[in-house]
Amino acid sequence: MDKEWLEVNIITSSEAVEAVTGILYNTPVKGVAIDDPQDIEFKKKNTTDWDYFDETLLIVKEGAIVKGYYKEEDNFNEYIDYIKESVANLGQFGIDKGQGLVTVSKVNETDWENNWKKYYKPTRVGSRIVIKPIWEEYNKKDYELLVELDPGMAFGTGTHETTRMCLQALERYVEEDSTVFDIGTGSGILAIAAAKLNAKKAVGVDLDTVAVTSAKQNVEYNHLDNIEIKHGNLMDVVEGKADIVVANIIADVIMLLAPDVKNFLNEDGYFISSGIIKDRQNDVINALKENRFDIIEVNNQGEWVCIIARL
């Protein structure tokens, strides 16, 4: 029997997506999804399901919908009160909350996990990497690296700008003798891509048990033996140092990581960070510089930024 989940919809501005996502992750959210108008317009061209997209575009307009998925439990109303209050207070931090409307509805687990799959197709994200859903067929070219993926309830399908920029950076910086640590691995997409790029070793870590289960399954789909997925915090569960640390999270977490991540990097190692909204770019850059990092690249796609720094 399919389970019923609670879906929290927050209609907000594109500027506030990162902050709203961070608010959700301060609660026991089991999954987060973002409806972005540009992504919807792209997908609309590739489907006949017009009603869904017309309705969504009408609601979103110039902003975005951030969705959080929860199991029904006694404390749920407390989480909702926290979310509503935090979204309402975004203006105090100079962030435009947009409509700032928070609504709750029930959603069937099967609908949540499977309905989006018809819009998720094989996607080239760099010069070589192609992300392929496990249920899709794809004729691989000789030079391409195919990452087989079923993200399930974990973050990371390769379609979001932040993930694409991280994958493109990995293509440029991973070498055959590289060790790569992926913080907040989600579906495992970045760690798997690093392993496919012939890194000597890739390690993905995540605090979310759902993400860890998803990432381990995706490693099996890709038949890799140079990768390890761990549950926990980077500082607690990973030993040794890496040549590259990649973190596709949010600006505030990256800034918190900056003092510690250098302890897990070899000299001249790279820290690839994304999930950063444009307005927070300088905050992250300053935090990295304060911790002895040199800024090598600052790339942006849409409203998002990816920063490559070197120790």
Residue ranges in the chain assigned as alpha helix (H): 17-25, 37-44, 50-60, 76-88, 109-114, 161-173, 189-196, 209-221, 234-237, 251-261, 281-290
> Which three-class secondary structure state does DSSP give residue 175?
coil
Is residue 36 very low, low, confident or very high in pLDDT (cuts 50, 70, 90)?
low
Q: Percentage of residues in the chain with pLDDT exceeding 70?
A: 83
Average pLDDT for 223-236 = 90
Average pLDDT over residues 244-266: 92
CA distance 14 to 63: 5
pLDDT band at 279 (very low <50, low <70, confident <90, very high): confident
Q: What is the DSSP letter of 142?
A: T
The residues spanned by each domain of the chain are: 4-116, 120-310
Cα–Cα distances in angstroms (integers) from residue 131 to residues 124, 145, 230, in the given order: 6, 9, 22
pLDDT at residue 205, as a whole number: 95
- Please give the residue that has the higher pLDDT: either 40 or 283: 283
Structure confidence at residue 92 as a pLDDT band (50, 70, 90)? confident
Buried b (16+ CB within 10 A) or exposed e, 139-171: eeeeebbbbbbbbebbbbbbbbbbbbbbbbbbb
Compute the average pLDDT of residues 86-103: 89
Question: By three-state DSSP, how is residue 164 classified?
Answer: helix
User: Residue 64 — very low, low, confident or very high, per pLDDT cuts 50/70/90?
Assistant: confident
Least confident of 19-28, 39-48, 223-232: 39-48
User: Can you give the pTM of this predicted structure?
Assistant: 0.73
Neighbours of 24 (CB within 10 A): 23
Look at 11-25, 80-94, 248-262, 276-290 and tell me which has the smallest mean pLDDT.
11-25
Per the listing, tokens 């992504």 go with 39
For residue 58, the model assigns a pLDDT of: 37
CA distances to 46, 68, 160 from 58, rounded to whole Å, are: 19, 20, 21
Per the model's pLDDT, the better-predicted residue between 57 and 96 turns out to be 96
Residue 19's alpha-carbon distances to 67, 84, 97, in angstroms, are 13, 13, 9
Q: Looking at the predicted structure, is the pLDDT value of residue 10 above 60?
A: yes
Q: Are 67 and 8 in contact (CB under 8 A)?
A: yes
Q: What is the mean pLDDT of residues 1-8?
A: 72
CA distances from 226 to 172, 197, 200, 253 (A): 19, 11, 6, 27
pLDDT at 45: 38
What's the whole-number mean pLDDT along residues 63-89? 88
User: Nearest-5° angle of CA 99, CA 100, CA 101?
Assistant: 90
Quick one: average pLDDT of 80-104? Answer: 90
d(CA 263, CA 137): 42
pLDDT of residue 157: 67
| Model confidence band, residue 266 (pLDDT cutoffs 50, 70, 90) | very high
Residue of 240, 243, 195, 241 whose CA lies nearest to 215: 195
- Tell me the pLDDT tens digit for each residue of 167-202: 999 999 999 999 999 999 988 999 999 999 999 999
- For the chain, give the mean pLDDT: 83
pLDDT at 60 over 50: no
Superfamily of segment(s) 4-116: ACT domain (3.30.70.260)
What's the CATH class of domain 120-310? alpha beta
| pLDDT over threshold 50, residue 21 | yes
Q: Which amino acid is at 22?
A: G
Cα separation, 118 vs 52, whole angstroms: 13
What is the structure's pLDDT at 299? 96
CB neighbours of 65 closer than 8 A, spacing ≥ 6? 9, 10, 11, 12, 34, 35, 56, 59
